[in-house]
Structure 1
Amino acid sequence: MTTETAETETPAPRRSWQEWLREYSELGVSALLFVIGVLVLADALTMDVDIAQRGPIGPKTVPVVVGTGLLLVAVLLAVDVLRGGRGEAEGGEDIDLSEPSDWRTVLLLAGVFLAFAVLIGPVGFPIAGALLFWGAAFALGSRHLQRDPLIAAVLSLVTYFVFNNLLGVPLPGGPLMGVL
């Protein structure tokens, strides 16, 4: 008569919540894409559109396609991550990944964009755009105090005239456009 001995298996140690989050952190990207997809679809489907449109493709088509695509990518990414798929870490072509982030530059750029958003209404695109272009150049390290504002002003005016006059996209001119 043979007797089988029962092997005792030790249970795997339980992982902490932080370890699980670190291992499946890419699910956060999937969740973000899913939320954005739901918001885009909800906005597109509740869009108030004039019924009399020409052709089969109306103003809801592109947002519905984009929202559906975002949902599809979110679900496929979540499935891939849960099955063990991982994205490769950035190799870095011309950056040193051991260096910390340059938060000063990031905050300066965020401030420049916020100032642009606040100023575009009262002072118009040419002035706000010049401040945006000059501020971005300054935040990214350019210190040519005579050249940069001149280039920013020319770039802003050219952008304004191309969009406003050639493309027919009206941009706020502000008080400067009454003079020109």
Structure 2
Amino acid sequence: MTTPPPSRRSWLREHSELGVGVVLLLLGVLVLADALTMAVDVGGRGPVGPRTVPLVVGAGLLLVAALLTVDVLRGGRGEAEGGEDVDLSEPGDWRTVLLLAGVFLGFAALIGPVGFPVAGALLFWGAAYALGSRHLHRDPLIAAALSLATYVVFDHLLGVPLPGGPLMGVL
């Protein structure tokens, strides 16, 4: 008796890591295409210009994608994490996922009109609430302090401009 050949679906399930290889390949092609079409002023920059890092990263992504694909096709499999304490028979926590998605979308919508300190405080507080914290007096204060500290560090110390919103003149 001969065993029937594995179905296409079971082959894909056994080689699911190829999906990661495809994503890395597409990302590498995207990074390289963007780097090669970048408009660059070549005057007086020396041998290392603004294209160097994206070209190295894109080439690295393509190399890792190729190595991963070869390894998977030769029978390599990723090891399951030993420290994971996840019950795969339980359904996902969609309430938390949707709350976090709403918080991130709200942050994206509010950062322009109200500035980073206010939108960031709402982001930090909303994420803490979505992830289960119910300290309604402490969490907003921590979120405001964390957001303000982040704003000051990035905007004033590191020189990365963030929208200040109504606090622009105060800080």
TM bracket (short chain): over 0.9
What residue number does 2:87 align with? 97
Matched residue type, 1:116: F
Please, which of 114, 135, 145 is the counterpart of residue 105 of structure 2?
114
CA displacement at 1:90 relative to structure 2: 2.1
- Considering only CA atoms, is the larger Rg found in Structure 1 or Structure 2? 1
Matched residue type, 1:38: V
CA displacement at 1:96 relative to structure 2: 3.1
What residue number does 2:55 align with? 64
> Any unmatched runs of 5+ in structure 1?
1-9
Matched residue type, 1:35: L
Q: Indicate the larger mover: 164-173 or 46-55.
A: 46-55
What residue number does 1:164 align with? 155
Summarize the Cα distance change of 1:114–1:53 in structure 2 as closer, same or farther, 3 Å threshold. Answer: farther
Q: Aligned-pair RMSD on alpha carbons?
A: 1.6
Please, which of 69, 73, 76 is the counterpart of residue 64 of structure 2?
73
Match runs of 1:1-180 below 5 Å: 10-93=1-84, 95-98=85-88, 99-180=90-171
| Cα distance between partner residues in 2 of 1:103 and 1:166 | 39
| Cα distance between partner residues in 1 of 2:70 and 2:58 | 19
| Cα distance between partner residues in 2 of 1:29 and 1:103 | 24
What residue number does 1:4 align with? none
| Cα distance between partner residues in 2 of 1:53 and 1:168 | 25
For these two proteins, the number of residue pairs brought into alignment is 170
Identity of aligned residues (%): 76
CA displacement at 1:143 relative to structure 2: 0.6
Q: SS of the residue aligned with 2:145?
A: helix
Q: SS of the residue aligned with 2:115?
A: helix
**Structure 2 length normalisation: TM-score?**
0.92
| Cα distance between partner residues in 1 of 2:44 and 2:114 | 36
CA displacement at 1:115 relative to structure 2: 1.5
Q: Which runs of 4+ in 1 moved over 6 A?
A: none
| Cα distance between partner residues in 2 of 1:160 and 1:48 | 31
Q: Indicate the larger mover: 10-19 or 81-90.
A: 10-19
